[in-house]
């Protein structure tokens, strides 16, 4: 830029004075904004509250930044670290016109100026701090320390953006700010923007000198050089010289920024030393002489209570010469208006600072595709966070072009088992990378390599506030480090929502793991589930807390969180191998409801309960399920209901939280008076707090009680009494029932446990090897049938060497199916209703009968039929759509060949089974299936079996043999052509239909073990 002229310096000084005048007016005045008449006491606010010391320095900075913006057409935002001087940004945005754009009633004339001055830091008006109400702000300057982190988050993925960030020299003493200087190691100079820190070295805090201001220039330069900054020092108190020095320094700084950006375009992988400015000016410069350059300028230099102080204020205000800066109407002088950048470059109107304007929804994958498949609940172990990582990897991939999603956490992504995200991206790192380093890259989208919860949180907030999406993950206990930052963000959201002009931004999402119940190498210090207690104090329209219990519920929860706006969502998840409880459909339904009964874990399907077992959180839920198995065994007549809570606020009344259940729904689940034994992830008092005022106060909560250090996982539960044995004892206690045998069992297990762990360092085998009791699942499978209908029991008849398989029991009559008559059979039924078990019983029957058959099997999940893969008679086992198509074509070719061959030839029997046909067949596939039906493939010994859990859009009316288990809607029953198939409420119950023959059946049960035994015997 050309050298600054004297005239220009004069204009800059006048502009600065106009800002200073407005800012002092904002503090003191209610009326007489242009001092057209002598000041009267009634013109002054009765109580003056706010800050002055930081204000003139910030006004100076704003004035000079505008000069650079205007000359260079820069895309810049302004962050006021010492934003307690909120009158500065308010004055600055008013003078440049953006304030009036947003608040049209605050006009740029005398009337508007009066309103502006009066509303500042005044009841019913605006905050005394830089705040959501301030145009162009993404930073509330009340709680100090986060300005640089916010600035860093703002410039990520916005390569043209410059965040000019004023850092108070007192603010710089806070931990979060002190660590934030390292942001320059995480900026990609090509694909991210620039943070320009301006250290406001005005020398004092509220009541003390600042540390940095008492260091020598050499010390300061060394400090900032060591931190990777190229510090420009501006040290002056005489206004004209100050303008000159600052203007020429800013010219150099912005030249350097330009050079860095240009260099970065051509040269990859370099780490620039970014420029910063140290502005050393007296605190409260331009204020009354006795307070300038002292801590006394920090807040209000003096209150106006009498004529003396009134005159002093008038003198001070007139020292800025408002009559020379504004015309009679209150309009800024024309030559000063000419200093203002055009509307598209005003910092107060930069759309980046109203992030909702730029927000693009995330493209989310179908989370169901990442869900864990299992045959029996509690039979598969998985690491929930690991599974989530696979989903998040695809969130990264799907949003790669938009570059609007990032993950933040303090050195814990791998520890928190989000390892799979690194299939899609890497960790942000713009320093040297050594051969043994892993996953680092200047292009990585995971901020992981800085151990600062503050910095990660601040960066995420900056990223969200500027219109992008993200997740912060953390050890549950250490998220407490940033409790206060979350509070400030919640406050920001509350005010923003009230404003109307701030558009909704993406929610602040937390995933907390490595939680209180997970004992690894860490102990007592790593146990604190209190973030939930903190969160419930926030506004109900903002906070959401979720406690998923397994991978599928975690996936559903996080998928939901990522689609929300203006919330703070907290999910608490397990990262260790844990049993999986809900299949994807159940997880979807349960998470949508947020609370519900687990019929399968309850006794008598949860009907007429004597006691409710409530649970929230993965570990408490596991213990309640284990307790339920014990109760079923020892107290078969006890009616109990297991209620699981995923969405914690469901417990609160609907008039307190939008997610809360109304009393009728709450009572329907928890009853009005039966004892509730509630097992909770966090501190028990929180459940009492949430359920305060509910009808049923017969509530007994177990949770974390500050017990347990380095010990076994189960001992943590025992010490805090959330373990299965204490739950069972609680059930006895609160129902008043006596069962000495059960009491004895629980107490002896607890004694054994204590002894065993200190001797062996391991949990007792009864706990370690505990598996969800399959017989309870079996019981459920055989509900309403006192007789067991096992496959074995149906083998009384000689079926050897036939193609006859058992269908099931109908009114004690055994029904069979001769599959030699079947060209195509269709089996429908929702997940978990018995459909796949029927296919299994048919296949094992055929194998037992020892018929020489060639099997062709397709199983997308690779679960239901996986045991048959590898058997010699299985000629093809398909798990993908393409492979299944190939297989179908092969069998179709066999059919066509057989038709063309002479009749009478001895063909080998072919059985083709496609489980979950919807995952496999396209239009061509269905055409081939139709051929098998119309050409009557059974004549050529080819038999097709298809199954689907959803028959909504399938046309299966023409299929000759049909079997339906419970379907989830009437419409599906109609499609299937089987009346009332949607009312078959017990798994294993089915309706078979062939021509006009309709039979209601209980189909045969075969356990996984039996299948394995049969197959290994072959």
Question: Shortest gap between Cβ of 458 and ligand TPP (angstroms)?
Answer: 13
Tell me whether residue 299 or residue 936 sits nearer to ligand TPP (CB atom): 299
Tell me if 676 sits within 8 A of 483, measured CB to CB: no
Q: Does 474 bind ligand TPP (CB under 6 A)?
A: no
What residue number has its CB nearest to ligand TPP?
168
Q: Who contacts 499 (Cβ-Cβ below 8 Å, separation ≥6)?
A: 132, 133
Q: In what order do the strands lie in the sheet with 440-441?
A: 440-441, 427-428, 446-447, 405-408, 469-475, 508-513, 568-572, 543-546
Question: Shortest gap between Cβ of 199 and ligand TPP (angstroms)?
Answer: 10
Q: Does 135 bind ligand TPP (CB under 6 A)?
A: no
Tell me whether residue 140 or residue 610 sits nearer to ligand TPP (CB atom): 140
Out of 33, 50, 82, 594, the residue judged to bind ligand TPP by CB under 6 A: 82
Q: How many CA atoms lie within 13 A of 560 on its CB side?
A: 25
Question: Shortest gap between Cβ of 682 and ligand TPP (angstroms)?
Answer: 27
Out of 17, 54, 776, 948, the residue judged to bind ligand TPP by CB under 6 A: 54
Tell me whether residue 82 or residue 97 sits nearer to ligand TPP (CB atom): 82
DSSP string covering 927-958: HHHHHHHHTTGGGGTEEEEEEES--TT---TT
The span of 12-20, 108-116, 142-150, 368-376 binding ligand TPP (CB under 6 A) equals 142-150
The span of 198-206, 538-546, 922-930, 1008-1016 binding ligand TPP (CB under 6 A) equals 198-206
Q: Does 60 bind ligand TPP (CB under 6 A)?
A: no
Considering CB under 6 A, how many residues would be counted as binding ligand TPP? 21
Tell me whether residue 53 or residue 136 sits nearer to ligand TPP (CB atom): 53
Q: Does 298 bind ligand TPP (CB under 6 A)?
A: yes
Out of 25, 53, 112, 548, the residue judged to bind ligand TPP by CB under 6 A: 53
Residue with tokens 């015309």: 327
Tell me whether residue 144 or residue 651 sits nearer to ligand TPP (CB atom): 144
Tell me whether residue 90 or residue 858 sits nearer to ligand TPP (CB atom): 90
Q: Phi/psi zone of residue 801: left (φ > 0), alpha (ψ -120 to 50 degrees), beta?
A: left
The span of 202-210, 598-606, 700-708, 863-871 binding ligand TPP (CB under 6 A) equals 202-210
Question: Shortest gap between Cβ of 134 and ligand TPP (angstroms)?
Answer: 16
Question: Shortest gap between Cβ of 296 and ligand TPP (angstroms)?
Answer: 12
Question: Shortest gap between Cβ of 280 and ligand TPP (angstroms)?
Answer: 12
Q: Does 129 bind ligand TPP (CB under 6 A)?
A: no
Q: Which three-class secondary structure state does DSSP give residue 732?
A: helix
Q: Does 197 bind ligand TPP (CB under 6 A)?
A: no
Tell me if 385 sits within 8 A of 573, measured CB to CB: yes
The span of 29-37, 203-211, 269-277, 601-609 binding ligand TPP (CB under 6 A) equals 203-211
Q: Does 575 bind ligand TPP (CB under 6 A)?
A: no
Tell me whether residue 16 or residue 855 sits nearer to ligand TPP (CB atom): 16
Question: Shortest gap between Cβ of 300 and ligand TPP (angstroms)?
Answer: 13
First to last CA, the chain: 87
Out of 144, 163, 482, 582, the residue judged to bind ligand TPP by CB under 6 A: 144
Distance between CA atoms of 189 and 186, rounded to whole angstroms? 9
H or E segment to which residue 66 belongs: helix 55-72
750 burial class (0-12, 13-18, 19+ CB within 10 angstroms)?
middle
Question: Shortest gap between Cβ of 509 and ligand TPP (angstroms)?
Answer: 24
- Report phi then psi at 473, rounded to 5: -115, 150
Q: Who contacts 731 (Cβ-Cβ below 8 Å, separation ≥6)?
A: 611, 613, 627, 631, 638, 640, 675, 677, 737
Residues 760-799, one symbol each (x = binds ligand TPP by CB under 6 A, - = not), give ----------------------------------------
Q: Which of residues 163-192 bind ligand TPP (CB under 6 A)?
A: 168-171, 174
Dihedral sign from CA coordinates of 35, 39, 40, 44: positive
Tell me if 252 sits within 8 A of 232, measured CB to CB: yes
Tell me if 84 sits within 8 A of 141, measured CB to CB: yes
CA dihedral 375, 376, 377, 383 (to 10 degrees): -50
Q: Nearest CA to 841 among 872, 804, 810? A: 804
167 burial class (0-12, 13-18, 19+ CB within 10 angstroms)?
buried
Q: Does 86 bind ligand TPP (CB under 6 A)?
A: no
Three-state DSSP string of 316-353: HHHCCCHHHHECCCCCECHHHHCCCCCHHHCHHHCHHH
Out of 139, 205, 296, 835, the residue judged to bind ligand TPP by CB under 6 A: 205
Question: Shortest gap between Cβ of 131 and ligand TPP (angstroms)?
Answer: 13
Q: Quickly list H helices, 283-422.
A: 307-318, 322-325, 334-337, 384-398
Question: Shortest gap between Cβ of 228 and ligand TPP (angstroms)?
Answer: 22
Question: Shortest gap between Cβ of 543 and ligand TPP (angstroms)?
Answer: 22
Q: Does 301 bind ligand TPP (CB under 6 A)?
A: no
The span of 204-212, 349-357, 824-832, 878-886 binding ligand TPP (CB under 6 A) equals 204-212
Q: Does 145 bind ligand TPP (CB under 6 A)?
A: yes
Q: Nearest CA to 696 among 667, 665, 725, 722? A: 667
Q: Does 87 bind ligand TPP (CB under 6 A)?
A: no
Tell me whether residue 488 or residue 968 sits nearer to ligand TPP (CB atom): 488
Q: Phi/psi zone of residue 516: left (φ > 0), alpha (ψ -120 to 50 degrees), beta?
A: alpha
Distance between CA atoms of 836 and 1008, rounded to whole angstroms? 12
Tell me whether residue 163 or residue 549 sits nearer to ligand TPP (CB atom): 163
Distance between CA atoms of 969 and 984, rounded to whole angstroms? 11
Q: Which of residues 475-534 bind ligand TPP (CB under 6 A)?
A: none
CB atoms within 10 A of CB 596: 18
Tell me whether residue 214 or residue 265 sits nearer to ligand TPP (CB atom): 214
Residues 661-700, one symbol each (x = binds ligand TPP by CB under 6 A, - = not), give ----------------------------------------
The span of 136-144, 268-276, 371-379, 772-780 binding ligand TPP (CB under 6 A) equals 136-144
Give the β-pairing of 961-964 and 989-994: antiparallel
Question: Shortest gap between Cβ of 126 and ligand TPP (angstroms)?
Answer: 18
Question: Shortest gap between Cβ of 407 and ligand TPP (angstroms)?
Answer: 27
Tell me whether residue 205 or residue 575 sits nearer to ligand TPP (CB atom): 205
Residue with tokens 């009572």: 667
Tell me whether residue 176 or residue 410 sits nearer to ligand TPP (CB atom): 176
Tell me whether residue 169 or residue 394 sits nearer to ligand TPP (CB atom): 169
Question: Shortest gap between Cβ of 17 and ligand TPP (angstroms)?
Answer: 19
Residues 251-290, one symbol each (x = binds ligand TPP by CB under 6 A, - = not), give --------------------------------x-------
Question: Shortest gap between Cβ of 283 and ligand TPP (angstroms)?
Answer: 6
Q: Nearest CA to 944 among 820, 816, 825? A: 825
Distance between CA atoms of 960 and 970, rounded to whole angstroms? 21
Distance between CA atoms of 841 and 848, rounded to whole angstroms? 10
Residues that bind ligand TPP (CB under 6 A): 53-54, 82, 84, 142-145, 168-171, 174, 200, 202, 204-206, 210, 283, 298
């Amino acid at each position: 830029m050309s050298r600054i002229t004297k005239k220009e310096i004069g204009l800059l000084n006048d502009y600065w004075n106009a800002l200073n005048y407005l800012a002092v007016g904002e503090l003191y005045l209610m009326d007489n904004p242009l001092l057209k008449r002598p000041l009267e006491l009634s013109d002054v606010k009765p109580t003056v509250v706010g800050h002055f010391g930081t204000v003139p320095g910030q006004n100076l900075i704003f004035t000079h930044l505008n000069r650079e913006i205007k000359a260079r057409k820069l895309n810049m935002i302004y962050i006021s670290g010492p934003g307690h001087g909120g009158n500065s940004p308010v004055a600055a945005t008013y003078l440049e016109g953006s304030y009036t754009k947003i608040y049209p009633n605050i006009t740029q004339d005398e009337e508007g100026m009066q309103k502006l001055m009066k509303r500042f830091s005044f009841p019913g008006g605006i905050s005394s701090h830089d705040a959501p109400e301030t145009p162009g702000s993404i930073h509330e300057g009340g709680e100090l320390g986060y300005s640089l982190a916010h600035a860093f988050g703002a410039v990520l993925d916005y390569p043209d953006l410059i965040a000019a960030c004023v850092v108070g020299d007192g603010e710089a003493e806070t931990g979060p700010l002190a660590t934030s200087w390292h942001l320059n190691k995480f900026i990609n100079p090509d694909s991210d923007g620039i943070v320009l820190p301006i250290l406001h070295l005005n020398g004092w805090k509220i009541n003390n000198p600042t540390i940095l201001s008492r260091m020598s220039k050499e010390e300061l330069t060394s400090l900032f050089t060591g931190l990777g900054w190229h510090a420009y020092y501006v040290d002056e108190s005489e206004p004209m010289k100050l303008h000159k020095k600052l203007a020429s320094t800013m010219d150099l700084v912005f030249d350097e920024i330009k050079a860095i950006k240009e260099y970065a375009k051509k040269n990859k992988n370099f780490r620039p030393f970014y420029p910063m400015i140290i502005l050393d000016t007296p605190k409260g410069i331009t204020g009354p002489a006795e307070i300038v350059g002292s801590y006394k300028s920090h807040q209000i230099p003096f209150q106006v209570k009498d004529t003396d102080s009134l005159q002093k204020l008038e003198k001070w205000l007139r020292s800025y010469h408002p009559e020379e800066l504004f015309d009679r109407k209150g309009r800024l002088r024309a030559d000063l208006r000419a200093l203002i950048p055009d509307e598209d470059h005003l910092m107060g109107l930069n759309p980046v600072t109203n992030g909702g304007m730029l927000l693009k929804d995330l493209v989310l994958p179908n989370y169901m595709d990442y869900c864990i498949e299992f045959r029996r609940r509690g039979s598969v172990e998985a690491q929930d966070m690991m599974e989530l990582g696979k989903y998040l990897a695809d969130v990264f991939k799907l949003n790669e072009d938009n570059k609007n999603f990032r993950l933040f956490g303090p050195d814990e992504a791998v520890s928190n088992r989000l390892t799979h995200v690194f299939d899609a991206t890497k960790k942000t790192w713009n320093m040297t990378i050594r051969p043994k380093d892993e996953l680092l890259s200047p292009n990585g989208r995971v901020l992981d390599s800085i151990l600062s919860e503050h910095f990660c949180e601040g960066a995420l907030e900056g990223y969200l506030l500027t219109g992008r999406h993200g997740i912060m993950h953390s050890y549950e206990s250490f998220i407490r480090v940033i409790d206060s930052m979350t509070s400030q963000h919640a406050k920001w959201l509350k005010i923003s929502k009230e404003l109307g002009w701030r558009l909704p931004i993406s929610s602040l999402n937390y995933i907390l793991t490595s939680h209180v119940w997970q004992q690894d190498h860490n102990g007592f210090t790593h146990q604190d589930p209190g973030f939930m207690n903190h969160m419930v104090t926030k506004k109900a329209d903002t906070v959401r807390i979720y406690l998923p219990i397994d991978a599928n519920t975690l996936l559903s929860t996080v998928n939901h969180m990522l689609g929300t706006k203006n919330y703070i969502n907290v999910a608490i998840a397990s990262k260790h191998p844990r049993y999986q409880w809900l299949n994807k459909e159940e997880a979807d339904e349960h998470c949508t409801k947020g609370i519900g009964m687990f019929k399968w874990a309850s006794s008598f399907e949860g009907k007429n309960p004597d006691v409710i077992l409530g649970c929230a959180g993965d570990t408490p839920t596991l213990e309640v399920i284990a307790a339920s198995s014990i109760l079923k065994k020892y107290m078969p007549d006890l009616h109990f209901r297991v209620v699981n809570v995923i969405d914690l606020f469901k417990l609160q009344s609907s008039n307190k939280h939008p997610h809360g259940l109304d009393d009728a729904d709450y009572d329907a689940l928890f009853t009005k008076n039966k004892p509730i034994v509630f097992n909770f992830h966090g501190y028990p008092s929180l459940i009492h707090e949430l359920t305060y005022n509910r009808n049923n106060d017969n509530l007994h909560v177990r949770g974390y009680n500050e017990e347990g250090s380095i010990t076994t996982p189960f001992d943590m539960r025992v010490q805090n009494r959330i373990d299965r044995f204490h739950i069972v004892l609680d059930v006895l206690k609160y129902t008043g029932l006596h069962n000495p045998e059960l009491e004895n069992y629980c107490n002896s297990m607890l004694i054994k446990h204590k002894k065993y762990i200190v001797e062996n360092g391991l949990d007792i085998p009864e706990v370690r090897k505990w598996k969800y009791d399959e017989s309870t699942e079996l019981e459920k499978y055989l509900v309403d049938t006192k007789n067991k209908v096992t496959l074995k029991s149906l083998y009384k008849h000689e079926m050897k060497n036939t193609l006859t398989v058992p269908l099931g029991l109908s009114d004690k009559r055994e029904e069979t199916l001769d599959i030699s008559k079947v060209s195509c059979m269709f089996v429908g039924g929702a997940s978990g209703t018995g459909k796949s078990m029927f296919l299994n019983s048919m296949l094992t029957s055929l194998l037992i009968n020892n018929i020489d058959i060639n099997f062709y099997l397709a199983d997308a999940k690779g679960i239901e039929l996986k045991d048959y893969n590898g058997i010699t008679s299985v000629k093809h086992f398909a798990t993908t759509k393409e492979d299944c198509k190939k297989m179908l074509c092969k069998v179709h070719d066999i059919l066509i060949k057989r038709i063309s061959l002479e009749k009478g030839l001895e063909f080998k029997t072919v059985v083709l089974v496609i489980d979950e046909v919807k995952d496999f067949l396209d239009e061509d596939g269905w055409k081939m299936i139709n051929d098998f039906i119309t050409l009557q493939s059974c004549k050529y010994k080819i038999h097709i079996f298809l199954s689907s859990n959803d028959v909504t859009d399938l046309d299966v009316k023409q299929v000759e043999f049909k079997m339906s288990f419970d379907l989830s809607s009437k419409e599906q029953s109609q499609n299937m052509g089987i009346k009332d198939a949607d009312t078959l409420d017990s798994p294993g119950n089915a309706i078979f239909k062939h021509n006009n023959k309709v039979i209601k059946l209980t189909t045969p049960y075969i356990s996984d073990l039996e299948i394995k035994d049969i197959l290994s015997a072959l």
